[in-house]
Amino acid sequence: MGMSVDLQFWPDPILAIETSCDETSIAVLHGRNILSNVVASQIEMHLKWGGVVPEAAARQHVESIIPVYLEALEKAGNPSISAVCVTNRPGLVGALSVGVSAAKAVAFQKRIPILGIHHLEGHLMSPLGDPTAQLKFPHIALIVSGGHTEIVRVDSPGIYKILGETRDDAAGEAFDKGARLLGLGYPGGFAIQEQAKHGNPKRYKLPRAIPKDPFNFSFSGLKTAMLRLVESEGAQISIPDAAASLQAAIVDVLVAKTINACEESEIEAVTLVGGVSANLKLRETLTAECGRLGISVTVPPLALCTDNAAMIGLAGSLRLQAGERSDWSLEVVPNAELPNPPLQ
């Protein structure tokens, strides 16, 4: 049974920076309160390539970081910043470097502490951005995005155990690939969701991967099945039905394996986080299935689902209050496991 925990946040205003992929985001927080959360998206730029180009993303971060910083401070009322938190792992090395360099510059200029934060820990703490949310511990977190699909047992802030993860592609990649095959453009998740509203999810039979494996995922077979479907149906294909069938195949697996993790762990609380958590069908299905079994579901506000700095600030505020600090040797780490030492 999950229990609500009295979480201790850093008491003074902090700045948070997130540049791990293709959003330049800076937020100002005071405790759990988000004073500003500015996100400069690069979606339009990457649209023509059908996906994120790392070098172009890094250049765009360089151009955006100062205007976003100034806007975040202004929207927050220009408070006196007491610390800086920044995503330093994992992510695109060039993109991360822009954020970490900016964080060091602010920390040096203001003579305040700096702290590197794991991107996924930001997602795990993102439900705290809803001031009414009462996170229960332990809980099962389903992280779904373009680059990540994991089921994580969260015993408390800082204590995580990955129970399952994708063996190949992330759920968001499957949405993007399916959208490209159907000529719906990038990013694919929203395009698939909109088409699926008018489609029959049972029209086309698509695989639900590795059903005998209780917690892990595989979406490469689904991408291949979509390619074959598009090739075999040709011009006769129903775009809404294909979109609905693809969405159902992804959602069914995500929900089933999350519930498997709850039952195996005897945990009755779930959080749904990451960019794909904005998918309405996933939210509805997970909430309905968990509700049937007496499992509570907490989802962050839509603005905190995709990559944003506020979630980094929430995770950072807890760690700052626990006494954690980075130093000037803080580096970017493109690939990094979730942190596991407990907060002090």
pLDDT value of residue 106? 98
Quote the percentage of the chain above a pLDDT of 70. Answer: 93
Selected residue with higher pLDDT from 60 and 317: 317
Residue 135 has pLDDT above 70, yes or no: yes
- Asked if residue 13 lies in contact with residue 30, where contact means CB atoms within 8 angstroms, the answer is yes
105 conformational bin, left if phi > 0, alpha if psi -120 to 50, beta if neither:
alpha
* φ/ψ (deg, to 5) at 46: -80, -10
pLDDT value of residue 46? 41
pLDDT value of residue 76? 98
Mean pLDDT, the chain, rounded, equals: 91
Helical (H) or strand (E) element with 150: strand 149-156
Dihedral, 222, 224, 225, 231 alpha carbons, nearest 10:
150
Distance CA(255)–CA(278), nearest Å, equals 14
Helical (H) or strand (E) element with 85: strand 84-89
Residue 233 has pLDDT above 90, yes or no: yes
**Residue 278 in tokens:** 């904005």
The residue type at 6: D
Quote the percentage of the chain above a pLDDT of 90. Answer: 79
Angle at 287 (CA atoms; ends 169, 197), nearest 5 degrees: 70
In the structure, what pLDDT confidence band is assigned to residue 5 with cuts at 50, 70 and 90?
Answer: confident
Residue 13 has pLDDT above 90, yes or no: yes
Least confident segment among 41-55, 211-225, 263-277, 301-315: 41-55
Residue 277 has pLDDT above 60, yes or no: yes
In the structure, what pLDDT confidence band is assigned to residue 19 with cuts at 50, 70 and 90?
Answer: very high
pLDDT value of residue 58? 74
Greatest mean pLDDT among 20-24, 43-47, 296-300 lies in 296-300
Pairing label, strands 159-165, 149-156: antiparallel
- Which CATH superfamily is 137-299 part of? ATPase, nucleotide binding domain (3.30.420.40)
pLDDT value of residue 45? 52
Residue 44 has pLDDT above 60, yes or no: no
Selected residue with higher pLDDT from 216 and 146: 216
In the structure, what pLDDT confidence band is assigned to residue 51 with cuts at 50, 70 and 90?
Answer: low
* pLDDT, mean of residues 258-267: 96
Q: What is the pTM of this model?
A: 0.92
* φ/ψ (deg, to 5) at 311: -65, -35
Residues shown for the chain? 344
- Asked if residue 283 lies in contact with residue 273, where contact means CB atoms within 8 angstroms, the answer is no
Residue 142 has pLDDT above 80, yes or no: yes
In the structure, what pLDDT confidence band is assigned to residue 104 with cuts at 50, 70 and 90?
Answer: very high
Q: Where are the domains of the chain?
A: 3-127+304-321, 137-299
- Asked if residue 91 lies in contact with residue 334, where contact means CB atoms within 8 angstroms, the answer is yes
Task: Determine how many CB atoms are found less than 10 A away from the CB of residue 301.
Answer: 14
* pLDDT, mean of residues 165-185: 92
Selected residue with higher pLDDT from 58 and 82: 82
- Asked if residue 154 lies in contact with residue 136, where contact means CB atoms within 8 angstroms, the answer is no
Residue 33 has pLDDT above 60, yes or no: yes
In the structure, what pLDDT confidence band is assigned to residue 4 with cuts at 50, 70 and 90?
Answer: low
* pLDDT, mean of residues 125-141: 93
CA distances from 75 to 35, 37, 227, 312 (A): 7, 9, 46, 18
- Which CATH superfamily is 3-127+304-321 part of? ATPase, nucleotide binding domain (3.30.420.40)
Helical (H) or strand (E) element with 114: strand 114-118
Distance CA(229)–CA(206), nearest Å, equals 9
